[in-house]
Amino acid sequence: MKTTRHIPILAAAAAALLAASCVKDSLYNTPHPDYSKIAVTADWSARGEGIDIPATWSIAMGDYAGTETSATHAPDRLFTPGDYTLVIWNQAEGITIDGTTATVAAATGNQQTAGTFINNAPEWFFTYTKQMTIEKDNDYPITAAMKQQVRELTLVIEPTGDAADRITEITAHLTGAAGTLDFATDTYGAVSNVALSFTKITEGGDAGKWKATVRLLGVAGTEQRLTGEIHYADGNLKPTTLSSDLTEALAAFNTDKAESLTLGGTLVETPESMEVDGAEINGWSPVDGGDVNADL
């Protein structure tokens, strides 16, 4: 009789335990309740006009690192709960990455290399960083708005005066270029020089002007200055020095990098005074690039 009376009680207890177990299981959001996963989609829509989406991009978070060729990277990796820094960038020739610091390679080949000169035409470079707190039992879809970190700069010089048509070459460089960028903090450093390869425009409304185009990670230091020499045909004039302050004109260069910047200036060219004092450029100001942008 005792055994018979306890059978319903035991059955009820077992059913209650089973129900509790089912309720516990139903509280989990994922098949990995103690960990979480991420899926990162790179958004390249903020890149400059005519710039292709990079073929390969990289991701690092904690001790995980991976590369991707598609739009979304969903690593087969479980992340433990904690705080992470998500870092994303693309491989760009002429730039190396260490953590969140990008460094422009030294100048080579026909670029001027005396002193601290860096590559004046690195490939287009994009980055994204995000501080994340990972909680367990979650899947994290992330859209990474990639930020363009290399900007194109074109300088256009309009010579004036009797010697304008006799100019055969302008050899120059720009000081105050950034050799490094910590893209997690937007900190620019390693003040460097870049060579400026000026060519004469021979067609269109800008014919007779001289232009040079470079790509820069940014500007750094307290001053940006164009320094060089102007050379003339037939030896009628000795080469004259060229020095022009671009600091004010480039003050906002490190913002809006997806927009190329073209600056125009007038070369005040009076040969008698230039031989003594050097050449000056007046009135640097943004102009519509149009056809004056050079292909690097």
pLDDT of residue 119: 96
The CATH T-level fold of domain 151-292 is Immunoglobulin-like (2.60.40)
**Inter-residue contact 269 to 262 (CB < 8 Å):** no
Instruction: Give residue-wise pLDDT tens across range 194-227.
Output: 999 999 999 999 999 999 999 999 999 999 999 9
Put simply, whether the predicted model's pTM sits higher than 0.75 gets the answer: yes
* Cα–Cα distance, 177 to 190 (Å, whole number): 8
Percentage of the chain exceeding pLDDT 70: 83
Closest CA to 166 of 242, 240, 231, 243: 231
Q: Which CATH code for domain 36-101+124-148?
A: 2.60.40.2100
Q: At 279, is the pLDDT very low, low, confident or very high (cuts 50, 70, 90)?
A: low
Runs of H (alpha helix) within 145-288:
271-277
**Inter-residue contact 233 to 168 (CB < 8 Å):** yes
Backbone angles phi, psi at 165, to 5 degrees: -75, -15
Are both 36-101+124-148 and 151-292 of the same fold?
yes
Instruction: Give residue-wise pLDDT tens across range 155-206.
Output: 999 988 777 888 899 999 999 999 999 999 999 999 999 999 999 999 999 9
pLDDT of residue 290: 52
On the question of pLDDT at 41 being above 80, the answer is yes
* Cα–Cα distance, 96 to 119 (Å, whole number): 12
* Cα–Cα distance, 273 to 229 (Å, whole number): 15
Max alpha carbon distance in the chain (Å)?
A: 128
Domain residues of the chain, as ranges? 36-101+124-148, 151-292
Q: How far is CA 181 from CA 6, 105, 131, 149, 208, in A?
A: 76, 12, 18, 9, 37
DSSP state of 289: -
